[in-house]
Amino acid sequence: MINGKCPPGPLEEKWEKHKDGLMLVNPANKRRYRIIVVGAGLAGASAASTLGELGYNVEAFCFQDSPRRGHSIAAQGGINAAKNYPNDGDSIFRLFYDTIKGGDFRSREANVYRLASISNNIIDQCVAQGVPFARDYAGYLDNRSFGGAQVSRTFYARGQTGQQLLIGAYSALSRQIKSGTVRFFPRTEMLDLVVVDGSAKGIIYRDLVSGKIASRAADAVCLCTGGYANVYFLSTNAMGSNVTAAFRAYKRGALFANPCYTQIHPTCVPVTGDHQSKLTLMSESLRNDGRVWVPVVKGDERLPRDISEDERDYFLERRYPGFGNLTPRDIASRAAKDACDKGYGVGPGGRGVFLDFAEAIGRLGEAEVRRRYGNLFDMYQKITGEDAYERPMRIYPAPHYTMGGLWVDYNLESNIKGLFVLGEANFSDHGANRLGASALMQGLADGYFIIPYTIADHLARIKPGVVSTDHEAFVGSVKETNERVEKLLSINGKRSVTDYHRDLGAIMWDLVGMERSEDGLNEAIKKIRALRNEFWDNVKITGEPDELNQELEKAGRVADFLEFGELMALDALERKESCGGHFRSEYQTVDGEALRDDSNYAHVSAWEYKGTDKRPFLHSEPLEFENVDLVMRSYK
């Protein structure tokens, strides 16, 4: 059994007391410790800048050409905090409760409470950095509502909240780069973790411009490398988002927790054809004012405006009157898929439902709707050529976020000492389903306010700089990484990397997607194995190893997805219950809602790698609930 090391004591006091007990590093000694931060999304940029400011010697990496471009930049809707500025009954406890309930009671109380309590500091920090959040006419900060909550606690900057928060963190990072505390390595990709005597001591990376494989040693490594929704090929994630860094750490002994917990977002622009390379999210904030419906008659092909009110089924409002269009994502997605599976879908292939703003435009006026969501409407128009002020949007669910990730304890440290995991890359705070506007909150909580305390406790116990890149673990890993690159390039088969990725995505979407079953999961495992074998036999990658080679980059990522997909299916198979985003068709209530099994599955599943083609070992961390009752989630 593994232990999350949550501190004892009353919920509200855990973090404060725990912080007081953590060791500190003497200011004069800090610069002697080197910390590697991989990733420059919100989690990585906030961690690197804060650690640099504290005086550590930080080296930070990302595969984009600049730390201003991390995938976090695409977040649209907003970031939660329990400020209770609107005086509508919010509190830290309520944010905690909504988050733990939204996650279907599959996360740690202590972590989630800490997240809620830090949320307010994040808003203060971002405002001080110059993040231009929306304001009301008196100059106070404005809030909107998001799914799974009955209060308005979401702070936003037009439809570009992630961009503005990331620019804030990037500016803090830029300041540290200038002052010399952070050395930044753009266009680099971490390809392995180096572990010496059970502790993380550095990374192997490829310089994506020269193609050279190199290594850096450090006293601690922070992985802030984001989520793995691209295992589905089509997702709302950026094209480069991948599982490689986390998966390489897993292969070096780090536990991977709850890999089957994935989030399918209800409001994305539907697929148009085989050429499709990614899916675009239409922010959940749209569900504040947009109403979701399908025609009551199957296959109704009339223009939406010709379909009268009583010929429409506002199915979320009908099925979930308490939350209406603002039910959590997993529920809204399944309801949309259900409507389409039954033949009520609209648009090409019947894979879509309407998201209608006519009522909001009538109530608020077009100008106000434009102010709130203008950039989203523009984006929709660019993609579909349709004007959503005139006719409803068409939306369909798409893979979006992954709650699973590397296992970490309360200190955000994995079972490998000195390996810390932040942001979407860890598994810690969202249970089996994440509520909207809480990923940005978590990434920044981890980076600005948690890691600076907890990493000190690790560093204070070790001597700095004892391992260098001459160590055999580094030399061996560089050699292995080079060999893998050579192997990939030598196959010279017939099918492209993207072909394999698309095939994998289809398997994952059909069998390990929104609804899973025992038979389907077994079939998925078989198919993934066959596809993986074929990949290593028949993939075709052109170009050279020692140059900028984007196909080679993709190939490495897809190769890891081809192994990781199997782990997801295995985890989904082992979890014989439905919870949050993990819906097993065998386990549902009579009206089709997720049926949890708290007596057998109120735990974190954490997988340990046991070697190529060997079954990984399943550890479990029991989840204890002292402050909330495990009720059946109801949004009716």
Ligand X SMILES: Cc1cc2nc3c(=O)[nH]c(=O)nc-3n(C[C@H](O)[C@H](O)[C@H](O)COP(=O)(O)OP(=O)(O)OC[C@H]3O[C@@H](n4cnc5c(N)ncnc54)[C@H](O)[C@@H]3O)c2cc1C
- Binding marks (x or -) toward other proteins, 151..180, rule CB under 8 A? ------xx-x-xxx--x--xxx-xx-xx--
Which residues from 187-246 bind other proteins, rule CB under 8 A?
209, 238-240
Closest by CA to 257, choosing from 628, 574, 586, is: 574
The correct pick among 12, 22, 85, 214 for binding other proteins (CB under 8 A) is 85
Which residues from 97-136 bind ligand X, rule CB under 6 A?
none
The correct pick among 92, 217, 224, 525 for binding ligand X (CB under 6 A) is 224
Amino acid symbol at 103: G
How far apart CA 43 and CA 446 sit, in angstroms, is 6
Q: Exactly one of 69, 319, 329, 372 is catalytic; name it.
A: 329
Should residue 469 be labelled a site residue for other proteins when binding is judged by CB under 8 A? no
Q: Write out the DSSP string of 15-36.
A: HHHHHHHS----HHHHTTSEEE
Query: Mutual orientation of helices 472-491 and 518-538 as an angle, nearest 10°?
Result: 80
* Six-digit token string for 508: 């994952």
How far apart CA 153 and CA 84 sit, in angstroms, is 7
Residue 312 annotated among the catalytic residues of the structure: no
The correct pick among 25, 37, 40, 95 for binding ligand X (CB under 6 A) is 40
Should residue 27 be labelled a site residue for other proteins when binding is judged by CB under 8 A? no
* Six-digit token string for 578: 């439905």
- DSSP type of residue 286: G
Amino acid symbol at 411: N
Amino acid symbol at 85: Y
Should residue 277 be labelled a site residue for other proteins when binding is judged by CB under 8 A? yes
Give which of ligand X, other proteins, none residue 577 binds (C-beta under 5 to 8 Å, depending on kind): none
How far apart CA 150 and CA 87 sit, in angstroms, is 12
Should residue 123 be labelled a site residue for other proteins when binding is judged by CB under 8 A? yes
The phi, psi pair for 546, rounded to 5°, reads -100, 50
Which residues from 158-177 bind ligand X, rule CB under 6 A?
161-162
How far apart CA 413 and CA 462 sit, in angstroms, is 15
Only segment of 24-32, 101-109, 268-276, 511-519 that touches other proteins (CB under 8 A): 268-276
Should residue 38 be labelled a site residue for ligand X when binding is judged by CB under 6 A? yes
Q: Which residues contact 97 (CB under 8 A, 6 or more apart)?
A: 628
Should residue 16 be labelled a site residue for other proteins when binding is judged by CB under 8 A? no
The correct pick among 83, 458, 582, 603 for binding other proteins (CB under 8 A) is 83
The kind and range of the H/E element at 217 are strand 213-217
Give which of ligand X, other proteins, none residue 260 binds (C-beta under 5 to 8 Å, depending on kind): none
Give which of ligand X, other proteins, none residue 581 binds (C-beta under 5 to 8 Å, depending on kind): none
The correct pick among 123, 222, 307, 437 for binding ligand X (CB under 6 A) is 437
Give which of ligand X, other proteins, none residue 622 binds (C-beta under 5 to 8 Å, depending on kind): none
The correct pick among 25, 42, 511, 569 for binding ligand X (CB under 6 A) is 42
Give which of other proteins, ligand X, none residue 124 binds (C-beta under 5 to 8 Å, depending on kind): other proteins
The kind and range of the H/E element at 606 are strand 603-608
Should residue 136 be labelled a site residue for other proteins when binding is judged by CB under 8 A? yes
Should residue 438 be labelled a site residue for ligand X when binding is judged by CB under 6 A? yes
Only segment of 50-58, 102-110, 417-425, 588-596 that touches ligand X (CB under 6 A): 417-425
Kindly tell me which of 117 and 235 has the beta carbon lying closer to ligand X: 235
Closest by CA to 498, choosing from 547, 563, 582, 554, is: 554
Query: Mutual orientation of helices 42-54 and 451-459 as an angle, nearest 10°?
Result: 60
How far apart CA 97 and CA 13 sit, in angstroms, is 16
The residues annotated with a catalytic role in the active site are: 329
